[in-house]
């Protein structure tokens, strides 16, 4: 089993192994939408579509859990993020197989995702 930098055993919980989210604080999607909308560097050609997709993800969370994603919701946020990053690696690999024209981009994303995972492992 992997270890952290201080030799603690790293245990990545499946999102199914963690408790269902409890009532927490705030609305993470609302914060993302506001930050994205107000930040000049995010003024690309896909801005409006991305805002629409963020709203849709927020809606899915509310439909599924009865609330948008909130902080301090009883789950281990770093374990949730790591689980999502591990899933991203599998989707990156799948994309390289199904969309060979994207291999170069996917290899960069793979490297970046591994770097994110390694950074997060220091905080579990």
Q: Give this prediction's pTM.
A: 0.81
With beta carbons less than 8 A apart as the criterion, state whether 27 and 6 touch. no
Tens-digit pLDDT string for the chain (124 aa): 454 555 555 666 565 678 888 889 999 999 999 999 999 999 888 999 999 999 999 999 999 989 999 999 999 999 999 999 999 999 999 999 999 999 999 999 999 999 999 999 998 8
C-alpha closest to that of 66 among 23, 30, 34? 23
């Amino acid at each position: 089993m992997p270890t952290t930098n201080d030799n603690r055993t790293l245990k990545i919980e499946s999102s199914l192994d963690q408790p269902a989210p409890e009532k927490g604080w705030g609305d993470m999607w609302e914060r993302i939408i506001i930050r994205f909308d107000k930040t000049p560097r995010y003024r690309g050609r896909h801005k409006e579509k991305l805002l629409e997709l963020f709203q849709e993800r927020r809606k899915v969370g509310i439909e599924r859990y009865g609330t948008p994603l909130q902080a301090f919701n009883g789950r281990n946020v770093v374990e949730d993020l790591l689980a999502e990053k591990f899933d991203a690696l599998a989707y990156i690999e799948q994309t390289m197989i199904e969309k060979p024209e994207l291999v170069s981009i996917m290899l960069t994303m793979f490297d970046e995702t591994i770097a994110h995972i390694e950074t997060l492992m220091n905080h579990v």
